[in-house]
Amino acid sequence: MTFPFVYQSAPSRVIFGAGCMTQLADELEILGCKRVLILSTPFQKGDADRLASDIGPLAAGVFAGATMHTPLAVTDQALAAFDAAGADGIVSIGGGSTIGLGKAMSWRNKAPHLVVATTYAGSEVTDILGQTENGVKTTIRNPAIRPETVLYDANLTLGLPIPMSVSSGLNAIAHAIEGLYAQDRNPVTSLMAVEAIRALKDALPRIINAPRDIDARSDALYGSWLCGVVLGSVGMSLHHKLCHTLGGMLNLPHAETHAILLPHTAAFNAVAAHDALAPATALFGGDLGGGLHDFATALGAPLALRDLGVTAADLEKAADQAVKNPYWNPRDITRASIMDLLTPALNGTRPRAF
């Protein structure tokens, strides 16, 4: 056990279970909402429309314009739609992009925010909001950003395509791995992180074998919830820093970037955070970086940054950026060590033990 520590529980209400969408109207009543604006991406407009028809007069309308990186201009449009519809609450149905829009709106207009989570990104239970204006991304962290209620209904994830399920699941595992060695970790977040990794490691191969296996989908949502709680409770380190740096610089797909970098950042930090990572290392056969790489390979996950269009020259720029304003990390970083870490990630080779 590591003392001293601070533990503060995060007050969100989560409802789990296949079919729990039928409880949506009751949950909105608990929040005091009478007319909600429903948010989605254009791709999930059908889900949003179905949800609106399920709750009848509780739906004030659908805004299906959510997009990646939460641009301020889209938030302004959605807030105008909220006012025009006379709404008093926000329902986000989707993944991190839609949830980001809901967070940005409720941060500004203070309306209650309920999320129906349909990916494994974990944003629905964090106090973190990333938004962009003129291509510049800023991040705000405040307890008021955390949505009040989350519904996890595995029925809504049955159609999440396998590649997205795999990358999103690995994105979630990255939150838990970094949570295990976070400077401000505590025994409760560590318990959650290990349980989250266990649940996702077990669920993802079952989802590949049977994408409509409701138990496997439910287990994956359970793991991703715990990963999200960990992300929303402690600070993140080198892995998230590198994903943000590369992702922001080159506009890379979010979940895939996490999936590719995770084995390499884990291998790098395993040296310095050996004890904190021990339960995760055991789950991956005694070699965390190598084990994660083998797991990702077996899942058919993207392995090489090169396949996302990244070049060796891009890595040099990313390494420059990463050492400029580093997040706290259990192992000291230098430009050379970042290049040692990123080069196998560029090519998708198995990370060596550092």
Residue nearest to ligand NAD (CB): 96
- DSSP state string for 245-289: HHHHHHT--HHHHHHHHHHHHHHHHHTTSHHHHHHHHHHTTT-HH
* C-beta closer to ligand NAD: residue 112 or 122: 122
| Interaction of residue 156 with ligand NAD, rule CB under 6 A | yes
Q: Which stretch binds ligand NAD (CB under 6 A): 22-30, 90-98, 146-154, 281-289?
A: 90-98
| Interaction of residue 168 with ligand NAD, rule CB under 6 A | yes
d(CA 189, CA 65): 34
Residue 32, Cβ density class (10 Å: 0-12 exposed, 13-18 middle, ≥19 buried): exposed
174 contacts: CB under 8 Å, gap ≥ 6: 239, 240, 243, 258, 261, 262, 265
Q: How far is the CB of 253 from ligand NAD (least distance, A)?
A: 8
Residue 271's Cβ-side half-sphere holds a number of Cα atoms within 13 Å equal to: 14
* C-beta closer to ligand NAD: residue 130 or 348: 130
Upstream peptide bond of 4 is cis (omega within 30 degrees of 0):
yes
d(CA 95, CA 165): 11
On whether the CB atoms of residues 303 and 348 are closer than 8 A, the answer is yes
* C-beta closer to ligand NAD: residue 90 or 270: 90
| Interaction of residue 218 with ligand NAD, rule CB under 6 A | no
* C-beta closer to ligand NAD: residue 74 or 270: 74
d(CA 320, CA 172): 27
Q: How far is the CB of 264 from ligand NAD (least distance, A)?
A: 19
Q: Which stretch binds ligand NAD (CB under 6 A): 25-33, 78-86, 154-162, 323-331?
A: 154-162
275 contacts: CB under 8 Å, gap ≥ 6: none
Q: How far is the CB of 224 from ligand NAD (least distance, A)?
A: 9
Q: How far is the CB of 40 from ligand NAD (least distance, A)?
A: 7
**Which residues from 247-266 bind ligand NAD, rule CB under 6 A?**
254-255
162-180 and 214-231 helices cross at what angle (nearest 10)? 40
**Which residues from 307-346 bind ligand NAD, rule CB under 6 A?**
none
| Interaction of residue 157 with ligand NAD, rule CB under 6 A | yes
Q: How far is the CB of 118 from ligand NAD (least distance, A)?
A: 4
187-209 and 162-180 helices cross at what angle (nearest 10)? 160
| Interaction of residue 179 with ligand NAD, rule CB under 6 A | no
Roughly how many angstroms between the first and final C-alpha of the chain, as a whole number? Answer: 26
* C-beta closer to ligand NAD: residue 112 or 228: 228
**Which residues from 51-80 bind ligand NAD, rule CB under 6 A?**
68-69
**Which residues from 92-151 bind ligand NAD, rule CB under 6 A?**
94-98, 100, 118-119, 121-123, 126, 128-130
Interface with ligand NAD (CB under 6 A), residue total 29
| Interaction of residue 289 with ligand NAD, rule CB under 6 A | no
On whether the CB atoms of residues 269 and 237 are closer than 8 A, the answer is yes
| Candidate residues 19, 143, 159, 286; the one interacting with ligand NAD per rule CB under 6 A | 159
Q: Where are the alpha helices (DSSP H) in the chain?
A: 24-30, 45-55, 72-84, 96-109, 162-180, 187-209, 214-231, 238-250, 254-270, 274-283, 288-299, 312-324, 335-347
Q: Which spans of this chain sit near ligand NAD (rule: CB under 6 A)?
A: 41, 43-44, 68-69, 94-98, 100, 118-119, 121-123, 126, 128-130, 156-157, 159-160, 164, 168, 231, 254-255
